[in-house]
Structure 1
Amino acid sequence: MKSDLNIKLKQKCEQGISDVWKLRSSLCQIVSNISDECDIWALLVKPICPELLPVTVKVENIKVELKNEHQLQLAKEKRERLIAERDRLRTEPDKGEEFIRIKNALNYSINNIADIKKRSVLRTNRHIRWFSNKTEASEENAPIKFSTSPAARRGLSPVIRVQKDSMPWYQPFSIVGSVAIFLIYFCFIREENDLDLEFNKTLYERIKGLEKHQLLQAYKFNKENGYSVEEIETRLKEIELEEAKSAA
């Protein structure tokens, strides 16, 4: 019963999703047709007047024909569609994907133009040489002294800054000596402790019965392939004696 209900719910969900996608595709098709028939830039620009201005059309020599009525009906429907699309863009201008895409493209273009202008201004100012108009009539052709010119009062920062080292001269020797003494004590002088003995243990000593299990597997393999099993039998006897001693 529950499985039938789940299947029905799943079918309803799939049908609803397919209906939503069909509706979305139809709306996208309508928007694309509208954008192809009219100027999309005029729709994206927010109008200054909150209300539509009345359209006055002067018609001279009106002839009532079926063709003209049909064209007028099509024009009215197109105008209603464009007004509805314009209202939609006015109500949600910052949420539409097309509006955001165009807005981002315009911002990117504006930023690039600003960067190009800035670079061109810097490039032109780099080649401009400024001259001073403050000259004295009596010393116009006389050489300018560097010590009295404004250039002498400007200080230059050194290219290489030498930092004073406050480290004592014996610091490297003390560090090397301390490390050497520690290694000599740790590696040669000190006695072994329980941790060192733990490092010397094999895997068979840590896991009980592992060696016997592997020997039995090797014994079976050698028997099937015709290899010698004397060493394996000897080791198995030794393990059985050790187990008997530990059990006693």
Structure 2
Amino acid sequence: MSAPFRFPRFFVTSPSPCPYLPGRHERKVFTELRGPHAGDLNDALGRIGFRRSQSVAYRPSCAGCSACVSVRVIASDFVPNATQRKQIRRNADLDVAVCRPWATEEQFDLLRRYLGARHPGGGMAEMDEQDYADMVEHSPVNSFVIEYREPAVNGAPGKLIGACLTDQQADGLSMIYSFFDADADARPGFGSMIIMDHILRARTAGLAYVYLGYWVKGSARMAYKTRYRPIEALGPKGWALLVDEDATFHPPAQHYTMLADEIA
């Protein structure tokens, strides 16, 4: 029986300054997602720690550093703590809609405010409306945008206060990029609410996991990802429960052998 798609060609980027750990450099290995089996390839790559950006799947491949660790929440076993339960109750009045992956001016305006408040000077700070449209609309896999709005007023849609570009994979939801109203006077902890909504949404759909991308050991910006338990981290022997947030995982050399097995 032949493989459903050809083994992909991988490329490696040149080193560039790490956006998470000062004084370090990052490098990525990547491949293109295209053709009728792009979704199958994306699923296989996702299971071994790759992330999607438009029509590219990538993962860190940094010399001498293994700080970036792929993490995923086990949706069926997730139990919110007291703070998380309070956030769910506080936001129970929201209007939430799953939308086709089509960029809107309202979403882009919210993204610009979010980046200005949370990530000024970051890699996405210079993103224009066309860049945003490319990020949302150029997806070769099953993607959608989840919008979070204040309650409707007199039949008119409420204010957009959050959104997330999400992929549906065979075994879970992959949160590609989320953004929200970062005003301190708005709903506090809303980024956490978006994650929990994805966990509950995956559970309802019978999907096992919510992929949160990379937890970066030593980066305060990424510490929030380990607050959703139980959570698994991808280590040398595959996915395992992360019970010690200081655990060190080394990049497994067998990842590409695992990939060959996945797509054979």
TM-score after normalising by structure 1: 0.15
Work out which of the two has the higher radius of gyration on C-alpha atoms and give 1 or 2. Answer: 1
TM-score after normalising by structure 2: 0.15
Higher helix proportion? 1
Higher strand proportion? 2
